[in-house]
Amino acid sequence: MQQTPSNPAKQPPEWVNIIKPYTVPNTWKSTWQMINSILPFFAIWVLMYYSLQVSYLLTLVLAFVNAGFMMRIFIIQHDCGHNSFFKSTKLNNFIGSLLGVITLTPYFHWRKSHAKHHAGSGDLDFRGFGDVDTLTVQEYQALPWKRKFFYRFYRNPIVLFIIAPTLLFTIGHRLPLGIEKGEMKERESVHGTNAALLLIFLVLGNTIGYLETIALWLPIMVFGSMVGVYLFYVQHQFEDTYWRWHKEWDYAEAALRGSSFFKMNKVLQWFSGNIGFHHLHHLSPMIPNYNLERAHYENPQFQQVETLTWAKSFKSVFLHLWDEQTHKLISWSEYARIKRQRSSQPMAG
């Protein structure tokens, strides 16, 4: 009797089995990564305090270095949010909640929003969850002039990479925005993080002075949020990125074509916690950050993706609208040119 072949639609795609060995957390690597990230962060805090007696310029230089460590700590918190840093879910949530105080980010509230970002990245029907607002050409054209002005203002690099990140981490994360009535864990995360930050601020303020505390804390947060948001932005917002309406959307395509490989030198790769391998992270968020590089270079099929350099990433800053006809992210000047061309074309019929 001839055996009926299995339905290929029910079989996991090939990449699932390829990725699987890289998704196993290593307790020693995770622990060492916490040690070499958190201890230097607090040590530089102490150096920054003593640098106030020398020069505030030196303080700002140290703050910029410490922003790198804060970004690295955020990646650890981020991996905990994906339940990929330790094998234990309880330990991931405990560590993630503690690190959320350092990064000024309510862990459970952020975790839910970030999970939605992964579930709908590149899906035009599911925008607005943990991503940068992006409109299509047709959507922008249909807006009244006031909303067009606001969108242009919002997508201005100064707003997007300086003002917005600062407001997000100082004010936005302090508010239970977008939390539904029954989501107590997310709400408690916001209030608990705020309470811990207030306590730290009061203790430091009474110990070293409130102005000194602000002078040390604020630049770390500003620098760290600026660089972090920039990296997040350019790894999704490049010319040939992937956006589709849900009926045409594909998870693996969105991960490998809608997320880039940001090639950095070893120092910046270390501080950014390998987040440059963003295509693999979106393909499988269960890969701990310290396994991403190996997964990329050991598998040639994952190397055929958009590769960004710093020079190339700067060009992405000036891309603002998704053109459904060309499947490209375009600049304002390109939009004006396309608008003129399409308005001059005779209507069919």
Separation CA 28–CA 338 (nearest Å): 54
Which pLDDT score is estimated for 50? 97
Separation CA 30–CA 169 (nearest Å): 26
Q: Count structural domains, the chain.
A: 1
**Percent of the chain with pLDDT strictly greater than 90:** 86
Q: Residue 4: is it exposed, middle or buried by C-beta count within 10 angstroms (0-12/13-18/19+)?
A: exposed
The answer to whether residue 349 sits within a structural domain is no
Contacts of 247 (CB under 8 A, 6+ apart): none
What's the mean pLDDT in 41-45?
Answer: 98
Give the three-class secondary structure for 308: strand
Which pLDDT score is estimated for 285? 96
pLDDT tens per residue, range 176-185: 988 888 899 9
Question: For residue 168, what are the CA distances in angstroms to 114, 118, 161, 216, 226?
Answer: 15, 20, 11, 19, 11
The answer to whether residue 330 sits within a structural domain is yes
The answer to whether residue 3 sits within a structural domain is no
Neighbours of 1 (CB within 10 A): 3
The answer to whether residue 2 sits within a structural domain is no
Separation CA 338–CA 319 (nearest Å): 14
The answer to whether residue 347 sits within a structural domain is no
The answer to whether residue 286 sits within a structural domain is yes
Instruction: Categorize the per-residue pLDDT at 3 as very low, low, confident or very high, splitting at 50, 70 and 90.
Output: very low
Sheet with 328-330, edge to edge strand ranges: 135-136, 321-323, 328-330
Which pLDDT score is estimated for 277? 96
Separation CA 22–CA 94 (nearest Å): 23
pLDDT tens per residue, range 179-235: 888 899 999 999 999 999 999 999 999 999 999 999 999 999 999 999 999 999 999
Q: Residue 121: is it exposed, middle or buried by C-beta count within 10 angstroms (0-12/13-18/19+)?
A: buried
| Domain interval for residue 216 | 11-340
Dihedral of alpha carbons 218, 219, 225, 230, sign = positive
The answer to whether residue 47 sits within a structural domain is yes
Separation CA 58–CA 64 (nearest Å): 10
**Percent of the chain with pLDDT strictly greater than 70:** 95
Of the candidate ranges 9-23, 53-67, 174-188, 202-216, the one whose mean pLDDT is the lowest: 9-23
The answer to whether residue 281 sits within a structural domain is yes
